[in-house]
Amino acid sequence: MNPIHFAAFGFGSGCSPKAPGTAGTLMAVPIYLLMQYLSLDIYALLLLVAFVVGVWFCSKASKALGVHDHGGIVWDEFVGFWITMLAAPQGWLWVIYGFLLFRLFDIWKPQPIKLVDRHVHGGFGIMLDDVLAGIYAWLVLQLTAYTINGSLPF
C-alpha cells in the first residue's frame, strides 16, 4: 500500500465499513494522548505541520481514487480532533467530550462549514471543513472548561 494513502486513510481506520470518520477520530485519540503533554507552542506547531502535510496527503489520495473527499480519507478528522483538544483540560471526560463535540460539528456542518464542504475542493477543501469543525468544537469545549473552572487553561 502507498504510505501516503495509508496516512490519508488514518493508518487503516478510514477503511472501516461503517462510520469511517468516527473510526478515524477514534484513531486520533491515542495520538492525542501522547501529544497532550507537549507545550502549547509545540502542540500548535504540530497542528500546523499536520494540516499542511494533510492537505498534501488528502490531495494525493483523492486524485488517485478519482473521488473528491472519499469517505475513507480521514486524516482531516485527525487534525480536526487535535484542534478540538488544543489546550483542553486533561482527563478522560474531556477527551470524550471533545470527541463528541468534534463529531457533532463534523457531521452537522453548520455554516460556513457546509459552504466550505460544498465549494472548496482538493486537499485544502478536504482539510478545511474539518479544521472549521474542530474550531467550533474547540470553542464549545473551552467555554465549557471556563464555565466549570472559572479560567481558561492557556
Residues 11-15, mean pLDDT to the nearest whole number? 97
- Give how far the C-alpha of residue 23 lies from the chain's centroid of Cα atoms, to the nearest Å: 12
Would you state the pLDDT for residue 71? 94
Residues 136-150, mean pLDDT to the nearest whole number? 94
The angle formed by the CA atoms of residues 27, 154 and 78, to the nearest 5 degrees, is 15
Is-contact 145 92, C-beta < 8 A? Answer: no
Local confidence band at 154 (pLDDT 50, 70, 90 cut-offs):
low
Q: Over the stretch 14-28, which tens digit does the pLDDT of each residue have?
A: 999 999 999 999 999
* Residue 106 pLDDT greater than 80, yes or no: yes
Closest CA to 113 of 122, 123, 125: 125
Radius of gyration (C-alpha) of the chain in whole angstroms: 15
Is-contact 104 45, C-beta < 8 A? Answer: no
Residues 115-136, mean pLDDT to the nearest whole number? 96
Would you state the pLDDT for residue 10? 97
What is the rounded distance in angstroms from the CA atom of residue 57 to the CA atom of residue 25? Answer: 17
The angle formed by the CA atoms of residues 34, 35 and 38, to the nearest 5 degrees, is 120
What is the rounded distance in angstroms from the CA atom of residue 98 to the CA atom of residue 132? Answer: 14
H-helix segments, the chain: 3-8, 20-35, 40-65, 75-84, 92-108, 113-119, 122-149
Q: Over the stretch 41-92, which tens digit does the pLDDT of each residue have?
A: 999 999 999 999 999 999 999 999 998 889 999 999 999 999 999 999 999 9
Average pLDDT, the chain: 95
Would you state the pLDDT for residue 64? 94
* Residue 149 pLDDT greater than 90, yes or no: no
What is the rounded distance in angstroms from the CA atom of residue 45 to the CA atom of residue 130? Answer: 18
Residues 103-113, mean pLDDT to the nearest whole number? 96
